[in-house]
């Protein structure tokens, strides 16, 4: 059978093309060339090292990638050869853990936390020894940063022919061990950078001394206040402590940004990433600073980390992590996809995904089925954008710091016994923010997350904003207070879970409440408020002129509790997803009410569209329902091959602004040989058919394709084109 060749324009790919090792085409034959699956399709990436046969088995299971250790910039030649032979893309792992994850990294013969454990033991033996707070190496040491950058540039240039999925700077990085609270870094480079940063923050030594309540005579003499001293304060002025913690978040983000810049500077289109991102809080996990510093982030989605990361860097590629099997794992994977995730990294410590000989294990079959379901709707979600909300929510890292200190002051020196796992506890700040996000999601409102900088910088001047929510925002700068007051004076509504701005932005208690009478504190926005669910919040928002885009009603005809509702727009098409916020935690049936009549189609279950402005939806408890709402019937795809050109288009005009389609190359038996996504195109696109020699070294070859199938998830329609 003759095969054919498809050369896809690079502009349609979401990432750089993957240059694979391929055999030379046989003279006179035609080969199918397909786009590389770099983040334009849902990713399934194996973390554990596998032998060559297992790599081939992973590809058959639908895995799109694996990892290749690049620790210290070194790559094992055989491991690289195995990945090239398998045709399975890879990402470079743990390139600079010595800098970014110094206190949580693999060391032969030691625990991953041996350095942190050593320092904690030393602190217990001598609590007065500040040497335990000297970070090795310093995140602010120019020589260390330059060395890491040189390593990254060399690695990216050496990998130009393979173009990995991304270059992972470190796995489970942090200032100390992950998100544990610790008083790093008192090293000379860190203190020097801290003092320079303070000059930029305060402008003059007099201003700093006035804020801190100190009498420093020159900048070079300044020392930060450590947590032990802050715990003993009774004057409510935690500025010297809070400023140092704020600087360390800046130092961590700057160091990460330096690594990303080096990857970009190499000029090969590489992406820089971080794995194992932690709960917002300590360890450098100020997502307002960290998310914009990388291109890819694998996130443990606790504390709304995924939503925050994507809000502060809309271009960020986010990945989840798969540890288990079963319904809860299915729920997690769907939730992360619906919140903008692009795939998952699979942890297979038990070896039940793939055998050494490439035989699938039970978990491998589970992941194959799950990924197939996720990929069914992925093109439609990728082509749509979250609908902007008239509600903004402040993500206040200064408030986190002060709230944490006040909560732990009664325990004194025991603060340093808290490890990263214990920091996953909610606390007042996380609880208030989590509830705000959950209740808004129950109403189909995706909030506009603001940082202190964007709030003070004019974000509230957006005329589309009607409500500002301040979840436990107890520390606000004077500029933030002024912006909030101006927002309220223009008619905006300010909702707070507790008295906002009790402390200023540096952490000094104010003599009076700056937003008294401005911020409202109804029960609906307080974590301890009785019945503080979506229904109670809706009453408050309605009074502020906020109308949710849709209504999701429970059996009592009030706003349903326990449902995560995401609304996306694609031109005149609205995509609504409904999923239990927690496994089995939603009503079995909800009623969806629309502002106007529309054709409603369940794009997962393949039902024919029905017209109306109300529909009852049976919720699965684990998997979501995803509906496409359109004013008119949506056309399906059309494929044609004429005069050496393949044309992919639509069967008529569409209400959607852009389209996302899945392209499946099938053999004579109808088996999918390879699948890819054509994303965000309009009208129709054409591609020339070229001999294999002309397409050489673009992407891997696919021989034996008998037909091409295009599937549009919005309309549910499919077109199949036999190939000559």
Give the residue with greater pLDDT, 81 vs 527: 81
CA pair distance 480, 503, nearest whole angstrom:
12
Q: Domain for residue 419, yes or no?
A: yes
Do 420 and 502 share a structural domain? yes
Residue 684 has a pLDDT of 79
Residue 231 has a pLDDT of 95
Do 514 and 438 share a structural domain? yes
Residue 665 has a pLDDT of 84
Enumerate long-range contacts of 248-251, CB under 8 Å, 24 or more apart.
248/139, 248/175, 248/184, 248/185, 248/190, 248/284, 249/284, 249/285, 249/286, 249/289, 249/290, 249/397, 250/197, 250/289, 251/139, 251/140, 251/175, 251/185, 251/190, 251/193, 251/194, 251/284
Contacts of 383 (CB under 8 A, 6+ apart): 570, 656, 658, 659, 660, 679, 680
User: Model confidence at 39, in pLDDT bands (50, 70, 90)?
Assistant: confident
CATH number of the structural domain spanning residue 614: 2.60.40.1180
Cis peptide before 312 (omega within 30 of 0): no
Q: Domain for residue 311, yes or no?
A: no
Burial class of 236 by CB neighbour count within 10 A (0 to 12, 13 to 18, 19+) = middle
User: Model confidence at 557, in pLDDT bands (50, 70, 90)?
Assistant: confident
Do 557 and 469 share a structural domain? no
User: Model confidence at 485, in pLDDT bands (50, 70, 90)?
Assistant: very high
User: Model confidence at 681, in pLDDT bands (50, 70, 90)?
Assistant: confident
Do 539 and 397 share a structural domain? yes
pLDDT at 36 over 60: no
Cβ-contact 357, 54 below 8 angstroms:
yes
Do 671 and 607 share a structural domain? no
Do 556 and 609 share a structural domain? yes
Convert the pLDDT of each residue in 107-116 to its tens digit: 899 999 999 9
Q: Domain for residue 327, yes or no?
A: no
Convert the pLDDT of each residue in 488-500 to its tens digit: 999 999 999 999 9
User: Model confidence at 26, in pLDDT bands (50, 70, 90)?
Assistant: very low
Residues paired with 610 in a beta bridge = 600
Cβ-contact 14, 36 below 8 angstroms:
no
Q: Domain for residue 536, yes or no?
A: yes
Cβ-contact 420, 455 below 8 angstroms:
no
Residue 415 has a pLDDT of 87
pLDDT at 551 over 70: yes
User: Model confidence at 389, in pLDDT bands (50, 70, 90)?
Assistant: very high
Average pLDDT, the chain: 89
**Mean pLDDT calculated for residue range 312-316:** 96
Most confident of 295-299, 423-427, 661-665: 295-299
- Domain end point (choices 512, 543, 574): 543
Residue 361 has a pLDDT of 96
Q: Domain for residue 684, yes or no?
A: yes
Give the residue with greater pLDDT, 616 vs 646: 616
3-state secondary structure of 530: coil
Do 685 and 595 share a structural domain? no
Convert the pLDDT of each residue in 256-310 to its tens digit: 999 999 999 998 789 999 999 999 999 999 999 999 999 999 999 888 999 999 9
Number of compact structural domains in the chain? 3
Residue 32 has a pLDDT of 42
**Mean pLDDT calculated for residue range 177-205:** 97
Residue 719 has a pLDDT of 96
Residue 481 has a pLDDT of 98
* Listed range (147-151, 203-207, 545-549) with the worst mean pLDDT: 545-549
Dump the DSSP string for 43-98.
EEEE-S---HHHHHHHHHTT--EEEEE-GGG---HHHHHHHHHHT--EEEE-TTHH
CA distances from 698 to 5, 25, 200, 267, 694 (A): 12, 13, 49, 18, 10
Do 453 and 535 share a structural domain? yes
Q: Domain for residue 270, yes or no?
A: no
Residue 701 has a pLDDT of 47
- Domain end point (choices 516, 543, 570): 543
Convert the pLDDT of each residue in 446-475 to its tens digit: 999 999 999 999 999 999 999 999 999 999
Residue 703 has a pLDDT of 64
pLDDT at 694 over 80: no
Do 711 and 648 share a structural domain? yes
User: Model confidence at 685, in pLDDT bands (50, 70, 90)?
Assistant: confident
Please report, rounded to a whole number, the percentage of residues in the chain having pLDDT higher than 90: 77
**Mean pLDDT calculated for residue range 563-570:** 97
Quote the tokens at residue 107: 């060391």
CA pair distance 79, 229, nearest whole angstrom:
51
Do 581 and 534 share a structural domain? no
* Listed range (213-222, 571-580, 604-613) with the worst mean pLDDT: 604-613
In eight-state DSSP terms, residue 261 is: H
User: Model confidence at 530, in pLDDT bands (50, 70, 90)?
Assistant: low
User: Model confidence at 688, in pLDDT bands (50, 70, 90)?
Assistant: low
Do 485 and 563 share a structural domain? no
Residue 238 has a pLDDT of 98
CATH number of the structural domain spanning residue 404: 3.40.50.880
Do 615 and 513 share a structural domain? no
Most confident of 72-76, 207-211, 543-547: 207-211
Most confident of 630-639, 643-652, 674-683: 630-639
- Domain end point (choices 578, 610, 630): 630
How many other β-carbons are positioned within 10 Å of the β-carbon of residue 269?
14
**Mean pLDDT calculated for residue range 568-579:** 97
pLDDT at 8 over 60: no
CATH number of the structural domain spanning residue 677: 2.60.40
**362 CA to centre of own chain:** 28
Q: For the whole model, what pTM was predicted? A: 0.92
CA distances from 608 to 403, 455, 604, 634, 677 (A): 52, 45, 11, 11, 24
Sign of CA dihedral 407, 412, 418, 420: positive
Q: Domain for residue 618, yes or no?
A: yes
Q: Domain for residue 661, yes or no?
A: yes
Question: Which range marks the domain in which residue 18 is found?
Answer: 10-36+637-722
Convert the pLDDT of each residue in 249-269 to its tens digit: 999 999 999 999 999 999 878
Among residues 590, 563, 580, 591, the alpha carbon closest in space to that of 621 is found at 580
């Amino acid at each position: 059978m003759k095969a054919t060749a498809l050369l896809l324009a690079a502009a349609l790919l979401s990432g750089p093309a993957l240059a694979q090792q391929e055999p030379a085409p046989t003279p006179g034959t035609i080969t199918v060339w397909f786009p590389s699956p770099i983040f334009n399709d849902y990713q399934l990436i194996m973390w554990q090292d596998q032998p060559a046969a297992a790599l081939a088995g992973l590809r058959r299971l639908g895995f799109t990638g694996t990892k290749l250790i690049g620790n210290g910039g070194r790559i094992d030649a055989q491991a690289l050869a195995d990945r090239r032979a398998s045709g399975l893309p890879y990402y470079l792992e743990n390139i600079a853990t010595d800098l970014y994850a110094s206190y949580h990294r693999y060391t032969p013969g030691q625990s991953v936390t041996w350095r942190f454990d050593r320092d904690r033991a030393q602190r217990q033996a001598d609590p007065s020894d500040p040497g335990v707070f000297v970070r090795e190496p310093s995140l602010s040491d120019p020589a260390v940063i330059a060395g890491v950058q040189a390593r990254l540039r060399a690695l990216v240039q050496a990998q130009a022919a393979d173009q990995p999925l991304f270059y992972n700077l470190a796995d489970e990085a942090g200032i100390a061990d992950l998100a544990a609270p610790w008083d790093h870094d008192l090293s000379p480079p860190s203190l020097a950078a801290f003092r320079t940063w303070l000059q930029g923050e305060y402008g003059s030594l007099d201003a700093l001394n006035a804020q801190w309540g100190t009498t420093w005579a020159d900048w070079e003499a300044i020392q930060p206040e450590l947590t032990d001293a802050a715990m003993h304060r009774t004057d409510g002025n935690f500025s010297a402590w809070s400023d140092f913690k704020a600087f360390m978040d800046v130092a961590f983000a700057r160091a990460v940004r330096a690594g990303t810049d080096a990857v970009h500077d190499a000029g090969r289109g590489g992406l820089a990433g971080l794995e194992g991102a932690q709960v917002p809080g300590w360890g450098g996990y100020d997502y307002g600073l960290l998310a914009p510093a990388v291109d890819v982030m694998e996130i443990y989605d606790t504390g709304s980390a995924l939503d925050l990361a994507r809000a502060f860097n809309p271009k960020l590629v986010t990945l989840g992590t798969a540890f288990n099997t079963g319904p809860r794992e299915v729920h997690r994977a769907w939730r992360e996809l619906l919140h903008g995730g692009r795939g998952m990294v699979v942890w297979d410590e038990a070896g039940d995904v793939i055998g050494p000989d490439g035989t699938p294990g039970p978990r491998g079959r589970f992941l194959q089925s799950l990924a197939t379901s996720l990929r069914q709707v992925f093109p439609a979600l990728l082509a749509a954008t979250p609908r902007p909300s008239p509600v903004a929510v402040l993500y206040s890292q200064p408030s986190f710091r002060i709230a944490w200190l006040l909560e732990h002051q009664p325990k004194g020196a025991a603060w340093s016994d808290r490890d990263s796992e214990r920091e996953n506890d909610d606390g007042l700040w996380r609880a208030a923010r989590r509830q705000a996000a959950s209740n808004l999601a129950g109403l189909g409102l995706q909030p506009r997350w603001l940082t202190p900088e964007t709030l003070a910088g004019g974000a509230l001047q957006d005329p589309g904003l009607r409500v500002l929510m301040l979840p436990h925002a107890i520390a606000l700068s004077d500029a933030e207070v002024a912006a909030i007051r101006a927002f309220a004076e223009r008619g905006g509504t300010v909702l707070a879970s507790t008295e906002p701005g009790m402390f200023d932005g540096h952490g000094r208690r104010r003599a009076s409440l700056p937003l008294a009478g401005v911020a409202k504190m109804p029960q609906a926005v307080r974590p301890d408020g009785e019945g503080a669910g979506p229904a109670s919040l809706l009453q408050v928002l309605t009074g502020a002129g906020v109308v949710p885009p849709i209504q999701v009603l429970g059996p009592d005809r009030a706003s349903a509790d326990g449902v995560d509702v995401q609304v996306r727009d694609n031109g005149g098409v609205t995509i609504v997803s409904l999923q239990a916020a927690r496994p089995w935690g939603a009503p079995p049936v909800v009623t969806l009410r629309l502002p106007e009549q529309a054709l409603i189609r369940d794009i997962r279950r393949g039902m024919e569209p029905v017209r109306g402005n109300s529909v009852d939806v049976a919720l699965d408890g684990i998997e979501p329902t995803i509906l496409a709402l359109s004013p008119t019937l949506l056309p399906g795809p059309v494929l044609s091959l004429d005069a050496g050109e393949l044309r992919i288009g639509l069967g008529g005009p569409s209400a959607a602004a852009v389209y996302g389609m899945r392209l499946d190359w099938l053999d004579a038996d109808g088996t999918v040989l390879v699948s890819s996504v054509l994303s965000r195109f309009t009208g129709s696109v054409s591609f020339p058919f070229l001999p294999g020699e002309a397409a050489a070294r673009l992407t891997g070859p696919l021989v034996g394709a008998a037909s091409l199938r295009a599937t549009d998830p919005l309309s549910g329609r499919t077109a199949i084109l036999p190939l000559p």
